[in-house]
Amino acid sequence: MNRAPRSALLFAVLLAHGVAHAAQVSVAVASNFTAPMRKIAAAFEQASGHKATLAFGSTGRFYAQVKNGAPFQVLLAADDETPAKLEKEGLAVPGSRFTYATGRLVLWSASPGVVDERGDVLRQPGTGKVAIADPRLAPYGAAAVEVMRRLGVEQALQPRLVRGENISQAYQYVVTGNAQMGFVALSQVMVDGRIDKGSAWPVAASLHTPIRQDAVVLAAGRDSPAATALMAFLRSDAARAIVRAHGYEL
């Protein structure tokens, strides 16, 4: 079923009825989606009059915060399991969950010539630290571990791994030189549809479980017109174009 026209119609209806009653929506956003979500939030505010207040972090950390009563109204997770779990536990609105993006993983170095086009650098000893997001908290970190396991290099790389709490921290380790390379989100290193600096190996999707990223309205946003409008806007052509431009699949 093609849901885009229906979503566009829904957003148009919400816009017609909501501009005069602009509101705020508090959104917890997986850190890998920082750049596109900032653009989406700006476009959303311009189109609807509603303002999205954004917080960025690891999906696992947000889950714990919501469980402890954090007043987020919408969650944009880096996986599909956490929103489903929150829905099952009565902490999210049933039926509101959908996949807004499918993430891509990339092995990246800020320096040219470090990472080859096949990722064979992972098999070479003594090539420096490798950053990953904490696999217990971040789906991109779990995907990185899965890739290393599939390649048969997990044990050899253990002494060289540095773990960030989330994918943004893993990326910062590479940018600052605290790690020579790292498994990061393709969206973090892609500009205008291409990787604009350093060296990279875009990881084949077949090497890890698909990183399906789901959005869900949380219990605190059940009666929020701004939360409803944001979820509709995420399905709009304008938002989907931003998602694609940052290296995600739909």
Q: Give pLDDT, residue 190.
A: 85
Collapsing DSSP states into helix, strand and coil, what is residue 219?
Answer: helix
Q: Does this chain's domain 4-102+213-245 share its CATH topology with 105-202?
A: yes
Of 107-111, 127-131, 188-192, 244-248, which has the strongest mean pLDDT?
107-111
Which has the higher per-residue pLDDT, 197 or 73? 73
Pick the CATH number of 105-202 from 1.10.10.10, 3.40.50.620, 3.40.50.150, 3.40.190.10: 3.40.190.10
Per the prediction, the chain carries an average pLDDT of 91
Topology (CATH level 3) of domain 4-102+213-245: D-Maltodextrin-Binding Protein; domain 2 (3.40.190)
Radius of gyration of the chain, Cα coordinates, nearest whole angstrom: 19
Residue of 158, 160, 165, 155 lying closest to 32 (CA atoms): 165
Residue 16, token pair as written in the block: 């017609």
Annotated domain spans of the chain: 4-102+213-245, 105-202
| CA atoms of 161 and 246, how far apart (whole Å) | 26
Per-residue pLDDT tens digits for 173-231: 999 999 999 999 998 998 777 887 999 999 999 999 999 999 999 999 999 999 999 99
Q: Residue 28: exposed, middle, or buried by beta-carbon count in 10 A (0-12, 13-18, 19+)? A: buried
Residue 45 has pLDDT above 60, yes or no: yes
Which has the higher per-residue pLDDT, 12 or 191? 191
**247 confidence band (pLDDT: 50, 70, 90):** confident
Query: Mean pLDDT throughout 4-23?
Result: 57
